[in-house]
């Protein structure tokens, strides 16, 4: 094990956060540091990375106890680092203790380096080692199956806007060509389900996660650890059903949709599900 460490402080929504972990692993490898993934201090997650995910066949930890207790970052102790969340700092989106932590050029003499950010690839990244853990897989396997072919949609329309009419046209084009009667809807827009039902009254529209109305960003709307767990699980569940759909209509301006598209195009997803989903 390397005796110097890189702590990745999580940020952003789920796809942003996972993209940051992807980048942090590369930075840790390049700087010969052992990676510590800290998602617990992130207000949109509030749990250990391992509560939901694993990095298969890679060495890392999400537990600070692996770091020697006398190690420091800029004279700040491991306990201080563990209990401190990132914040804005001058012209830097992510700072801690008065330092910008977006710089990936780490001083090799530092016992601990801290980094926060995302992939820098706007969701166009693929991390085959990233998988959901066995507990989440077991819970998902107990969800009610959708047996018939269906269309899945990821409709983003809170802080990132899209026009529902564009999705409606794509649905209409599909059902003109073949008989599909089911839509699976993943969305942050609390009005989307009603609007789709008005447009397609004879279709079975399935929406398992109900977004909160009048929020700027669903990811930061959870106010407790329990609520965050529910929200994260529901997002993962949406992905689980999207990868089993016949057609997927994404929001191309959303990092989450691009995260899904990259897995479909690489024929490898976080569930190890066989998937023949076509992106429309």
- pLDDT tens, residue by residue, 241-262: 999 999 999 999 999 999 999 9
In the chain, how many domains are there?
2
Alpha carbons 216 and 212: distance in angstroms, whole number: 10
Low-confidence ranges of the chain (pLDDT < 70): 1
* CATH code: domain of residue 269: 3.40.50.11350
pLDDT of 1: 61
In a domain, 204, yes or no: yes
Buried b / exposed e along 36-48 (16+ C-beta atoms within 10 A): bbbbbebebbbee
Whether residue 176 sits in one domain with residue 106: no
- Secondary element (H or E) of residue 137: helix 134-141
The whole-angstrom separation of Cα 223 and Cα 165 is 33
State whether 70 and 169 are in the same domain.
no
Residue pLDDT, tens place only, 60-105: 999 999 999 999 999 999 999 999 999 888 889 999 999 999 999 9
Give the domain-ending residue among 115, 146, 172. Answer: 115
Range of the domain at 217: 135-279
Q: Are residues 219 and 275 in the same domain?
A: yes
pTM of the complete model beyond 0.75: yes
Specify whether 90 is located in the same domain as 180. Answer: no
Residues 98 and 143 in one domain: no
CB atoms within 10 A of CB 246: 17
Distances (CA, A) of 76 to 29, 57, 98: 24, 32, 11
Q: Give CA angle at 186 (193, 232), nearest 5°.
A: 130
């Amino acid at each position: 094990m390397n005796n110097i460490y890189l702590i990745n402080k999580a940020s952003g929504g789920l796809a942003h956060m996972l993209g940051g972990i992807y980048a942090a692993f590369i930075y840790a490898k390049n700087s010969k540091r052992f990676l510590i993934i800290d998602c617990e201090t992130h207000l949109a997650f509030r749990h250990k990375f391992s509560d939901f995910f694993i990095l298969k066949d890679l060495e890392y930890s999400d537990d600070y106890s692996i770091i020697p207790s006398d190690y420091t970052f800029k004279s700040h102790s491991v306990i201080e680092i563990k209990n401190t969340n990132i914040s804005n700092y001058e012209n830097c989106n992510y700072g801690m203790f008065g330092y910008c932590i977006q710089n990936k050029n780490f001083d090799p003499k530092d016992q601990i380096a801290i980094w926060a950010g995302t992939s820098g690839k706007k969701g166009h990244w693929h991390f085959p080692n990233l998988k959901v853990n066995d507990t989440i897989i077991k819970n998902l396997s107990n969800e009610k199956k959708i047996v018939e072919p269906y269309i899945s949609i990821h409709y983003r329309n809170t802080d990132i806007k899209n026009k529902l009419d564009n999705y409606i046209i794509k649905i209409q084009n599909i059902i003109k060509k073949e008989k599909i009667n089911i839509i699976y809807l993943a969305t942050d827009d609390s009005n989307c389900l009603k609007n789709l039902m008005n447009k397609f009254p004879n279709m079975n529209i399935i929406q398992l996660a109900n977004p909160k109305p009048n929020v700027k960003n669903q990811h930061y709307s959870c106010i407790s650890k329990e609520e965050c767990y529910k929200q994260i699980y529901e997002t993962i569940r949406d992905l689980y059903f999207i990868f089993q759909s016949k057609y997927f209509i994404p929001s191309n301006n959303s990092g989450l949709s691009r995260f899904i598209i990259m897995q479909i195009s690489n024929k490898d997803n976080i569930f190890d599900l066989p998937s023949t989903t076509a992106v429309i």
